A and B are shown apart, each in its own frame.
Chain A
Amino acid sequence: MPSPMVQFNNVHKLYGAHAVLTDLSLSVSPGEKLALIGASGSGKTTILRILMTLETIQGGSIFVGGQPLWSPETAGLSPRRREMHLHKMRTNIGMVFQQFNLFPHMNVLRNVTLAPILTQGVKEADARALAMELLEMVGMAHKAHALPAELSGGQKQRAAIARALALKPKVMLFDEVTSALDPELVEEVLNVMRKLALETDMTMLLVTHEMSFARDFADRVLFLDGGRIVEEGPPGEIFRNPQQERTKLFLRKIVAAGLSL
């Protein structure tokens, strides 16, 4: 058993007095594809945002690649030192957002090359070459010089995936990357992610409401409810033979809503 790539130990997360994650522990192996499912408000996005350092935690500790991301020691750092620490840790992590969040004032190519040039000191020419390679992979090379406003939702999201990949993170976070898209555009983005899973050995954490995709894509599915892990296991077992009442209920609702399993 290799040491885990991502490790949550008894994590507590509060918004004000409202506990969003309670005593949450989980670990993700290198290269593993983990799908997080659960009802709205169960804390899926919060888990990803914490990993991306967009949120702090109020208890417990988190390790990425064996190094502490949040821990009692890092909590004691001065704001300046803490930002330095987080800056170092973020080189391992990339995120794709539900709303794409491309920079509207830059073309697609610039969106992709910006961070490697600025944060990793990659040379302009090399960054461009890498970006074109990635854009090729997501099928966006022909739109390299377009502005985000000129793209469809699916194209934006594929560009955003290329942007996150350009930093070569060890862990990629995908937060409902298809739920802002028109139904006919969902598949083009999912295809890119399937390809990614085949061609790379990145660790991926994925929040999705596309259960059939989660089943094909993930090595393991984790069902959350009220900020706790209710059930986890290989997708085949969770979807076909859930053990917990709440999981059954959730999956039944999904089916009733007309979504495929």
Chain B
Amino acid sequence: MLMKLNGRWYDVGDDTTMPLLWVLRDKFGLMGTKYACDSATCGACTVTIDGKSELACQKTIAELTGEVQTIEGIGASEELHPVQQAWIDEQVPDCGYCQSGQIMAAVALLAETPSPSDAQINDAMRGNLCRCGTYPRIRAAIKRAAKLLRSGT
């Protein structure tokens, strides 16, 4: 079975019942997408599929319908994605464990809603827990990223 991940096609073998989260972590060694709960309640495993935010722990390979993007796929230290840049500018992370998921949820939000209101941010982000409580800075970073994206930087 083939899957498109971060811009390239991969053969993931025959076991299509494995959740995407574990395909990423166990098979590809892509450790940026995190495991944190057993109940689809935390968002630490958020990736985008065809640009929409999805929980990687809830999707099996068989259910995949589009291209998967993970935190590793959107930017790297030499070439940060505007959302990652905004996250650094606002100094968002604390322990950082939830932040891959937060960033991917924000990427999906901004792709659909370039200038989100506070209510739209709440809606899009309420599935992503942060035990360190970085929410106020996440909100500020989303607004900053929106500006960066609009100005095309």
Tell me whether A and B are bound partners: no
Q: A residues within 8 Å of B by Cβ?
A: none
Q: B residues within 8 Å of A by Cβ?
A: none
